[in-house]
Amino acid sequence: MYGNDFATDATDAADRLPGPDEPLNAAESGQFDDLIEAERRIEPRDEMPDAYRQTLIRQIAQHAHSEIIGMQPEGNWISRAPSLRRKAILMAKVQDEAGHGLYLYSAAETLGVDREDLLDRLHTGRQKYSSIFNYPTLTWADCGAIGWLVDGAAIMNQVPLCRCSYGPYARAMIRVCKEESFHQRQGFEILWTLMRGTQAQQAMAQDAADRWWWPALMMFGPPDTGDAASTGGHTSQSMAWGIKRFSNDDLRQKFVDMMVPQADRLGLTLPDPELRWNAERGHYDFGPIDWDEFWRVLKGDGACNAERLAHRVAAHDEGGLGPRGRHGIRREAGRGATCPGRRRMSPSTDRATWPLWEVFVRGKRGLSHVHVGSLHAPDATMALRNARDVYTRRQEGVSLWVVQASDITASSPDERDSFFDPAGDKVYRHPTFYDVPEDVEYL
């Protein structure tokens, strides 16, 4: 589900894909189909079928929701991490997850949807997030299991999305995948250290692997090949559109094949008595997944569903990332009451009215600024600071520009022929137009 697309009965009607007998392609010209056939990117102002747009909105929104809800399981351990080094690493990872959510919400907004509306759908249960984040983190070893298994599954799901047919989503995923590799490696290192520690530490690591293995396999979504192909969600259409590149089952198999040797190296035993190498298939066989548990947790009956969503709603209402709100000061009893020194948010600072800013980064001196994404901020100063924290966490730039999106004037894709074609017949502007002797050097 982490980067997958499927709906439940609770899904908002506005997110629904057309049924089998309903038209899928609402685009009047063949431009969309031509771009898909040529494996080229669809950009925000290009013509696209409404079903394609709605599929992307739902999938990107679910992905973004998963990133910000996914901050909570490990954020719970920041104050209890066993060393200052581990605390710093865990804080960096949680900050990355917040950044990933921002990348993805920005990508969703290019499809014409409002971020606050997406968050409202999450908070009211009309849109879902990955079921993996409804499981508790009981010990420090769980942080290792999440990094190794959960982020490993996320990478397996997300790397193909770097080739997604929708440009903003694909570009966001390139940034996300670069950062997820750090998450997986730090998780592996935690388990590696524990498995070389005391017997109690080894038992803790094994217990975490036992509890997270099956939920990690569920992250790829329900079966969608073989007999399940007819009931496997929208995989076939998403693959035809170039949104997905592989089926859920293919990605799950690749993940198992990758993780078994790593588990052996760690010294962990994966909790599946049917797990064994099948020489004829060239893959590992594994046991049946409890899909009843998957759907039960997804629909709200998991160990932490209510807690995780309530915390997210409270954080949003407080205007910050945690229970103490934006400035780290807890609200007093009574809605609207604030502690001394805390400034009320006036209508002008309401996030719903913040303008959209486009962000440009210069990677090195001498290079041009390149557009990397967008964000919302109340003013230019805050936009610049937020852009630094979101887009240059790893020293990716030496200079930042932020420009209000409303101040940008762009050419229209519908006018591309008349706008750019006047230069098409001026072939004499190219050096290859001129015939010169081949033996003339430096010309």
pLDDT in tens, 27-81: 555 889 999 999 999 998 889 999 999 999 999 999 999 999 999 999 999 999 9
Using pLDDT thresholds of 50, 70 and 90, give the confidence band for residue 233: low
Helix spans in 3-114 (H) = 31-37, 50-69, 71-75, 84-109
pLDDT at 145 over 50: yes
Nearest C-alpha neighbor of 131 from the set 303, 258, 251, 16: 303
Number of neighbouring beta carbons within 10 Å of residue 106:
23
In the predicted model, is pLDDT for residue 279 greater than 70?
A: yes
* Residue 327: per-residue pLDDT: 37
Interval 184-202 mean pLDDT: 97
- Tokens, residue 178: 């670069």
Per-residue confidence (pLDDT) for residue 215, from 0 to 100: 97
Which range is least confidently modeled, 68-72, 126-130, 274-278, 332-336?
332-336
Nearest to 130 by CA among 212, 13, 237, 16: 212
Rounded distance, CA 117 to CA 98, Å?
Answer: 18
Amino acid at 388: R
> Does pTM top 0.95 for this prediction?
no
Lowest mean pLDDT among 57-71, 209-223, 404-418: 404-418
In angstroms, the CA 35 to CA 42 distance is: 7
What is the three-class DSSP state of 371?
Answer: strand
Asked if 137 and 146 touch (Cβ cutoff 8 Å), the reply is: yes
Which of 131-145, 224-238, 324-338 is the least confident region?
Answer: 324-338
Residue given tokens 């014409």 in the structure block: 112
Report the alpha-carbon distance of residue 313 to residue 343 in Å, rounded: 20
Q: What is the pLDDT of residue 11?
A: 45
The pLDDT value recorded for residue 23 is 42
Distance (Å, whole) CA 32 – CA 297: 37
Our CA angle for 385, 387, 392, nearest 5°, is 105
Q: How many other C-beta atoms lie within 10 A of the C-beta of residue 95?
A: 17
Non-local CB neighbours of 220 within 8 Å, separated by 6+ positions: 1, 4, 153, 156, 157, 248, 249, 251, 252, 255
Rg (alpha carbons) of the chain, rounded to whole number: 24
pLDDT band of residue 340 (cuts 50, 70, 90) is very low
pLDDT of residue 354: 87
- Could you please report the per-residue DSSP string of 248-259? HHHHHHHHHHHH
Long-range contacts of 231-237 (CB under 8 A, 24+ apart): 233/4, 233/5, 233/6, 233/7, 234/5, 234/6, 234/17, 234/55, 237/17, 237/24, 237/51, 237/55
CB atoms within 10 A of CB 410: 7
What tokens does 50 get?
């409404």
The confidence band for 226, taking pLDDT boundaries of 50, 70 and 90, is confident
- Output helix, strand, coil percentages for the chain, rounded to the nearest 5: 55, 5, 40
- Show the tokens assigned to 287: 């046991």
For 111, the token pair is 């499809």
Q: What percent of the chain has pLDDT over 70?
A: 84
Length of the chain measured in residues: 443
- pLDDT reading at 26 higher than 50: no
pLDDT at 222 over 90: yes
**3-state DSSP call for residue 235?**
helix
Using pLDDT thresholds of 50, 70 and 90, give the confidence band for residue 24: very low
Distance, CA of 85 to CA of 382 (rounded, Å) = 29
CB–CB of 285/278 below 8 Å?
yes
